[in-house]
Chain A
Amino acid sequence: MTIIVTSKVQQITMNHNGQWGHKGYIYTTVGTYTLKIKKIQKKSKLKSITMGYGDKPIHQDLGREPTELTVTCSLENGSTCDSLRSFVNTLNIPKKKVHNVFLPGQILYVISNSGIIADIPLHSAWRIDKASIEQSNINRCTFTLNLLRDERAEKEF
């Protein structure tokens, strides 16, 4: 299973819908990556509180949490650490460290999802909540990305 994503950074601007003085966002593309996905876990949950006072607990819904996705993957052009290291050197990223490829807070926007239909829809935007890079003793580098769906951002792309 492979997907192609573009990673974007969000910047604040004081211009929104052509009007100055209103806060808006601009999204700058940092890079395009092809991800080979090994495992996906998708989670949706409700934000709620339960108060246990009195004879009957009171349950209150506060809305829903953003859909959460845990993806274990590797970069197609850098599945071994050696190839990943040379790939990182070609990227236009601040400080050419592999930690900076998937910066938490960045948005991954799906431009191709061949082989995956339901989990990661085309043209969906996912905010990187946590990124883990693991180097194993067989010299493979695996990324585990915790992603939160950012439906507000994807309306702007």
Chain B
Amino acid sequence: MAGLIFNYYQEKVQNDGTITYILKKELPEIKAVNVCKVDIEFNKFVVQATEPPEIFPLGVQGKTASISGSFGSPIDSILTLPSILDDYAIQPGYVLSVKTDPNNTAWLLHDGLWKIENFAFDREGLKQGKIDFNASLIYIWEDNESMYKYFGEGNPVNP
């Protein structure tokens, strides 16, 4: 059964400031995802001097994801996956989106673009073609999407 496949994009800023994403390739299939996690945090200002302390919300800090898993399996030959180990194969600053994920192993990442903050590989000699990875990703907000609207000012935006 097929696993998780990411599309890999390069971000290009145009002269007028708009950003486009150029599809460069699709990454090899990720056969197993161990953990996929999304964190969201908010900015606040806390006044401790009052009793009780007061919290002022200032907006959302951002949304980050971490994912760990493995390309290939222990019985695969390493020669089947040399392309992703190249220095320039997966670079920070490039962007990923889920192309296929039939088993929903990383459904938290669906429907969005995620910029690579770091991507680390981890290999063991005895495990041949199993290449473990850890990645940190930063969510790229869409133009019409803003969490700030949901609190602090205005009304929540309808779906």
Give me the interface of A with B, judged by CB distance under 8 Å.
9-12, 28, 30, 47, 62-66, 81-82, 85, 92-100, 102-106, 127-137, 139, 148-152
Which residue of A62, A64, A135, A148 contacts B35 across the interface (Cβ within 8 Å)? A135
- With contacts A95-B145, A103-B147, A152-B54 taken as known, whether A131 is within 8 angstroms of B39 at the C-beta atoms is yes
Whole-angstrom CA separation of A131 from B150 in the bound complex:
16
- With contacts A10-B152, A66-B46, A85-B107 taken as known, whether A133 is within 8 angstroms of B57 at the C-beta atoms is no
Task: List 11 A–B pairs whose Cβ atoms lie within 8 Å, in order of A's numbering.
Answer: A10-B151, A94-B157, A98-B108, A103-B40, A104-B60, A104-B61, A105-B57, A105-B59, A105-B147, A106-B150, A135-B106
Which residue of A82, A134, A152 contacts B52 across the interface (Cβ within 8 Å)? A152
Does B16 interact with chain A (Cβ within 8 Å)?
A: no
Q: How far is the CB of A108 from chain B (nearest CB, A)?
A: 13
Give me the interface of B with A, judged by CB distance under 8 Å.
32-42, 44, 46-55, 57, 59-61, 63, 104-108, 111, 145, 147, 149-159
A9 with B151: CB separation less than 8 A: yes
Q: How far is the CB of A82 from chain B (nearest CB, A)?
A: 7
